[in-house]
Structure 1
Amino acid sequence: MSNYSTNLTEKQWQVIKNIVEPQERTRKKCLREILNAIFYISKSGCQWRMLPSDFAPWQTVYYYFRKWKLEGVWEELMDVLHSMARKSVGKQESPSLGIIDSRSVKTSHHVDTDRGIDGNKKIKGRKEHIVVDTLGLPMAINIHEANIHDSKGAVPTMEKLAFKFPRLCKILADGGYQGDLAMWTKQKFGWDLEVVLRPKENPRKFNVVPKRWIVERTFSWLENYRRLTIDYEFLTETAEAMVTVAFIQILLKRFF
């Protein structure tokens, strides 16, 4: 096996081993090698069929990627690493504050499902909706058509937070989330949705809005993963899995 920069270290493998392989058994291919191949695709942006030959066959790698997507293993792995990362810096596992935002991403020409045009950004594709904590670490991911307004796309994103974070009491958002969403969030979950607007004076001047810049920094982290620069995935759930894989790599690299 070649020594790619995306390969798991021994410490990182020991952290996640029991999640992806709860019962040890003899396999033709080590799951660590499978993960290394998936992480290589996420970082480099190569096609499945162009996976270097020193990895497992691409069919085997894709089989496990899809299997873990359907079984919820990727989401579970991200949630476990999120809790461990917070504990490692002296914070409680469940954050009390979340920050929500979205970005529009172009889709490949062969993607015909679940995409639309973001009239504001002039992008034809999908929106990646995320909620992060004050460390910028992911709490929830939801992907949908780019033409859906942020206040509407936030609803299924918020629902993914339910029952996961018992200490959560407030979520910060920008002006795109104004309207009835705050009332719906309070009635359904008991959380306060606070819309933080930019200063009205000199609106053309760039201003760093307290706390809200954190989610923008998280989006900038994702820019380092070339598979995400354009959405190549035919299904939105596959696109969500790819974003989750990138977040898993970020968590492993930063904290383990």
Structure 2
Amino acid sequence: MPGRKRGLAVDVLGLVVAVVVLAASAHENTVGIILLNRVATATPPGSVRTALVDQGFKNAVAAHGATLGITVQTIERNPADKGFVPQPKRWVVEQTYGILALHHRLVRDYERRPASSESRVYWAMSDVMARRLTGTSTPALRDA
């Protein structure tokens, strides 16, 4: 089964704004450009002014963001750091990936179509938001 690359755009609370699922062979720039387009479409004009991205995204994403009125800032890793070191503000995306991994259908890619994979992310995020609103905890993967 071919692999998939999943891109997420989240707000400061870790709630998903947009999702892109492409073939694993797709370049990060492609994911980033599509993601910026979806963020610009899903949000009111001018409400998203800055996007933080990791080093996998190159200048093409920043240039495309400028055409949409979004400043794209690359969060670079300190070369002196060894091992895993959470990057400032980027940890919110990693935390969201971890929360989504608690949903069985997102641990592996069981879906045939990328659109189905995207809808599963939105479905899982709906569960996360409902649990936050009701104050219930997310069950551990082994308990579900």
Asked if Structure 1 and Structure 2 have the same fold, meaning a TM-score greater than 0.5 normalized by the shorter chain, the answer is: yes
Residue of 63, 72, 78 corresponding to 1:199: 78
Alignment of 1:181 with 2:90, yes or no, is no
Q: What are the equivalent positions in structure 2 for 1:18-167 lying under 5 Å apart? A: 109=1, 115=2, 125-163=3-41, 164-166=43-45, 167=47
Q: Deviations over 1:105-126 (max 9, x none)?
A: xxxx4xxxxx4xxxxxxxxx10
Percent identity between matched residues is: 28
Q: Which residue of 2 aligns with 1:170?
A: 50
State the one-letter code of the partner of 1:198.
R
Distance in 2 between residues matched to 1:165 and 1:214, nearest whole Å: 22
Distance in 1 between residues matched to 2:4 and 2:83, nearest whole Å: 29
Q: Which residue of 2 aligns with 1:249?
A: 127
State the one-letter code of the partner of 1:225.
H
**Structure number with bigger Rg:** 1
Distance in 2 between residues matched to 1:217 and 1:162, nearest whole Å: 23
Alignment of 1:211 with 2:57, yes or no, is no
DSSP 3-state at the match of 2:34: helix
State the one-letter code of the partner of 1:213.
W
Residue of 100, 107, 125 corresponding to 1:229: 107
Q: Which moved more, 1:148-157 or 1:211-220?
A: 148-157
Structure 2: 5+ residue stretches without partners? 135-144
Structure 1: 5+ residue stretches without partners? 1-108, 110-114, 116-124
DSSP 3-state at the match of 2:73: strand
Q: In the comparison of the two structures, how many residue pairs are matched? A: 132
State the one-letter code of the partner of 2:71.
D
Q: Deviations over 1:14-64 (max 9, x none)?
A: xxxxxxxxxxxxxxxxxxxxxxxxxxxxxxxxxxxxxxxxxxxxxxxxxxx
DSSP 3-state at the match of 2:6: strand
Alignment of 1:190 with 2:69, yes or no, is yes
Distance in 2 between residues matched to 1:210 and 1:221, nearest whole Å: 19
- TM-score w.r.t. the length of structure 2 is 0.86
Distance in 2 between residues matched to 1:178 and 1:236, nearest whole Å: 24
